[in-house]
């Protein structure tokens, strides 16, 4: 008889008449799985559908959020979970089982795919694992919304790529995407631009800000007369509505936003001079999504500003600035989110599952930072990360320092940073825990032209105190990102298959279909130092990789260093546990 793993990959076995699925019928991680799995009939796909087998699924903290919040979650608000339950899970490796008649030319049984979960169809977001049934099931039917969506959301993978290795491409893709944030270097075409004058200095617009297209509306609030004359006489403002207002104060900003933008917020706000902090905070609150606030000033602000850092992450708001008096300089000097080549980087919350991915990417990449500072409050996780990456980092000429700030004094952390960076601070800081004080604590260590990437999903409305003076006088920048694009996933899969990115290193625990609820709780409680991967086609209790020594010693023998997952271990696992 043929090898059982080969039969599994070739679909050379009789498929079951039904399959198991884990569904959310009420909010609360403690409620997930209390009634067990549901049993669903395995049906052939309709003509416009494909049937896929779920081979592996990574459990994401986003799944925890979904299960915790239930019908109050933003992606499924108001859904009656009893009548219309959610099947979570979006970090998946899939195999085509059968294609309907209209899909048979493109999809063949045995082909393997991963999925870009953030699906858009006719501009409407319909995410896999949220609105659409996701991967916490043994089989899944995929239809028009994904297959005829606005992008190619099913991404083919090579036959030799491991199932866990492929499933973990999705979270790694979010990491890759975080370093592809391109600042907007022009006014938003068709947008609403607000100039706010705070002194009578000599300012000019400069070149290139309308190359991509003109704003539809320009509002001049208390700007110097000479600057207003320049705007009104400029050929670029022909056919643009220009509105002049005076006496703009903090308490009037909201009314101006409602009147001039219909409440959606300004697309660009350019502040000429050093603003009153109350006015600046009111203007920041009046920004729309994907907006830019530019400061043209030299003098320090009277106090730091309270900034909604959740909006930096989720709404892609960009705070830029210059002390040259030229608007175009603020836009053109805003740096991309990739690391400064040969620079220094601090990863705050470095040893969580996502933090480890960021650090591994930075330590392995060509042209990346040469000094890396990792802080985390878990000794176990820090040691896991250190064991995972130190040798490769050393071979790549990267100096690494690992510190648990709970074990040392703030003065010792400060000294370690100054020793590593020569006292100048960091070129890049990545925030990997959604905690405002961590952002504030890192601010004093931003070097000139430093970029802080607020990667962690900080809730909107989370305020942090930020000295914006450093934006226009020191070139500091702040970015954030949520999710990724299909091309990001295509590239990340390629990097994985070319062994440039070690997605497989992220796996710290495994389980079978029966372990899904415990796996979800394990992610919520940060039980393991890395990712949890479930293999839905087998039964296996949730198991940390080192514990395989006692549970499945034959699989344990295939691990790297007794700690890290390998494709060889996966093959041994499936040969041992598949029942087909």
Residue 246 has pLDDT above 80, yes or no: yes
Q: Using 50, 70 and 90 to split pLDDT, how confident is the model at 221?
A: very high
Strands 305-308 and 463-466, how do they pair? antiparallel
How does DSSP classify residue 162? -
* Residue 1 predicted with pLDDT over 60: no
CATH class of the domain comprising 4-158+508-544: alpha beta
The string of DSSP letters for 287-356 reads EEEEEEEEEE--SPPSS-EEEEHHHHHHS--EEEEESSSBHHHHHHTPPPSSPPTT-EEEEETTTSHHHH
Whole-number percent of the chain with pLDDT over 90: 90
How far CA 453 is from CA of 66, 179, 345, 427, 447, in Å, comes to: 24, 9, 11, 11, 14
- Has residue 225 got a pLDDT over 50? yes
The 10s digit of each residue's pLDDT in 493-505 is 999 999 999 999 9
Tens digits of residue pLDDT in 360-383: 999 999 999 999 999 999 999 999
Residue with tokens 């395995």: 42
Q: Provide the pLDDT for residue 479.
A: 94
Residue 91 has pLDDT above 60, yes or no: yes
* 308-354 residue pLDDT tens: 999 999 899 999 999 999 999 999 988 889 999 999 999 999 999 99
Q: 248: which residues sit within 8 A by CB, 6+ positions away?
A: 196, 221, 222, 256, 279
Per-residue DSSP letters for 91-117? EEEEEEEEE-TTTTTT--TT-EEEE--
Shortest CA distance to 198 belongs to which of 117, 119, 276, 250? 276
- Judge whether residue 206 has pLDDT over 50: yes
b/e burial code for range 399-412 (CB count within 10 A of at least 16 → b) = ebebbbbeeeeeee
What's the mean pLDDT in 108-112? 97
Q: What is the pLDDT of residue 18?
A: 97
Token pair for residue 247? 């006496």
Cα–Cα dist 542/528, whole Å: 11
> What average pLDDT is seen over the chain?
95
Q: Are 420 and 400 in contact (CB under 8 A)?
A: no
Is 344-458 the same fold as 4-158+508-544? Answer: no
| Residue 424 CB coordination number (10 Å) | 12
Residues in contact with 181: Cβ distance below 8 Å, sequence separation at least 6, in sequence order: 316, 336, 337, 453, 479, 481
Cα 60 to Cα 6: distance, rounded to the nearest angstrom: 29
Q: From its phi and psi, is residue 161 left (phi > 0), alpha (psi between -120 and 50) or beta?
A: beta
Q: Please tell me the CATH code under which domain 192-332 is placed.
A: 3.40.50.720
Q: What pLDDT was estimated at residue 483?
A: 76
pTM greater than 0.75? yes
Q: Where are the domains of the chain?
A: 4-158+508-544, 192-332, 344-458
Give strand pairing partners of 479. Answer: 453
Q: Which of 43, 47, 154 is nearest to 100 (CA)?
A: 47
392 vs 99, higher pLDDT:
99
Does residue 301 contact residue 467 with C-beta atoms inside 8 Å?
yes
Terminal-residue alpha carbon distance, the chain: 13
For 541-556, write each residue's pLDDT tens digit. 999 999 999 999 999 9
Residue 60 predicted with pLDDT over 70: yes
Looking up tokens 């008649």 gives 101
From the list 372, 432, 429, 430, the residue with the least C-alpha distance to 402 is: 372
pLDDT of 533:
98
Q: How many helices (H) and strands (E) does the chain have?
A: 20, 26
**What class does CATH assign to 344-458?**
alpha beta
Residue 219: pLDDT band with limits 50, 70, 90 = very high
């Amino acid at each position: 008889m043929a090898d059982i793993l080969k039969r599994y990959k070739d679909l050379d076995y009789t498929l079951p008449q039904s399959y198991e699925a884990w569904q959310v019928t009420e909010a609360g991680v403690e409620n997930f799985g209390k009634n067990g799995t549901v049993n669903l009939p395995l049906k052939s796909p309709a003509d416009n559908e494909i049937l896929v087998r779920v081979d592996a699924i990574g459990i994401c903290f986003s799944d925890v959020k979904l299960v915790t919040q239930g019908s109050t979650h933003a992606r499924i608000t108001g859904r009656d979970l009893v009548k219309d339950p959610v099947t979570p899970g979006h970090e998946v490796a899939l195999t085509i089982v059968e294609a309907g008649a209209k899909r048979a030319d493109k999809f063949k049984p045995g082909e393997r795919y991963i999925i870009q979960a953030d699906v858009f169809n006719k501009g409407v977001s319909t995410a896999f694992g949220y609105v659409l049934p996701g991967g916490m099931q043994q089989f899944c039917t995929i239809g028009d919304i994904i297959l005829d969506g606005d992008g190619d959301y099913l991404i083919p993978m090579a036959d030799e790529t491991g199932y866990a290795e492929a499933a973990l491409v999705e979270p790694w893709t979010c990491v890759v995407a975080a370093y592809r944030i391109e600042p907007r270097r022009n006014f938003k075409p068709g947008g609403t631009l607000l100039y706010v004058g705070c002194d009578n200095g000599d300012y000019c617009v400069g070149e290139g800000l309308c190359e991509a297209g003109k704003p539809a509306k320009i509002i001049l609030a208390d700007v110097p007369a000479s600057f207003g004359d320049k705007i009104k006489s400029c050929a670029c403002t022909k056919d643009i509505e220009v509105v002049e207002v005076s006496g703009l104060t903090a308490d009037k900003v909201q009314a101006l936003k409602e009147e001039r933008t219909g409440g959606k917020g300004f697309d660009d706000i350019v502040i000429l001079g050093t603003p009153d902090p109350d006015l600046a905070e009111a203007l920041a609150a009046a920004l729309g999504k994907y907006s830019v606030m530019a400061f043209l000033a030299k003098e320090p602000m009277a106090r730091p500003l309270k900034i909604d850092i959740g909006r930096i992450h989720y709404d892609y708001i960009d705070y830029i600035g210059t002390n040259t008096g030229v608007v175009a300089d603020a836009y053109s000097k805003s740096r991309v989110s990739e690391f400064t080549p040969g620079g220094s980087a601090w990863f705050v919350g470095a040893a969580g599952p996502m933090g480890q991915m960021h650090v591994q990417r930075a330590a392995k990449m060509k042209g990346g930072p040469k000094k890396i500072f990792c802080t985390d409050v878990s000794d176990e996780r820090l040691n896991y990360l250190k064991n995972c990456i130190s040798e490769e980092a050393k071979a790549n000429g990267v100096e690494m320092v690992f510190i648990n700030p709970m074990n040392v004094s703030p003065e010792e952390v400060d000294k370690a940073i100054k020793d590593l960076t020569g006292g100048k601070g960091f070129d890049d800081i990545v925030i990997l825990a959604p905690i405002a004080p961590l952002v504030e604590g890192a601010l004093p260590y931003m070097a000139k032209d430093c970029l802080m990437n607020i990667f962690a999903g900080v809730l909107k409305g989370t305020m942090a105190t930020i000295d914006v003076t450093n934006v226009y006088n020191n070139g500091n920048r702040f970015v954030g990102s949520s999710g990724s694009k299909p091309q990001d996933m295509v590239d990340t899969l390629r990097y994985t298959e070319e062994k440039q990115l070690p997605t497989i290193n992220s796996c710290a625990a495994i389980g079978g279909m029966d372990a899904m609820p415990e796996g979800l709780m394990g992610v919520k409680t940060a039980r393991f130092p890395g990712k949890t991967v479930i293999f839905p086609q087998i039964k296996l209790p949730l198991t940390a990789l080192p514990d395989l020594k006692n549970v499945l010693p034959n699989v344990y023998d295939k691990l790297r260093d007794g700690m890290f997952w390998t494709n060889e271990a996966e093959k041994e696992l499936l040969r041992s546990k598949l029942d087909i």
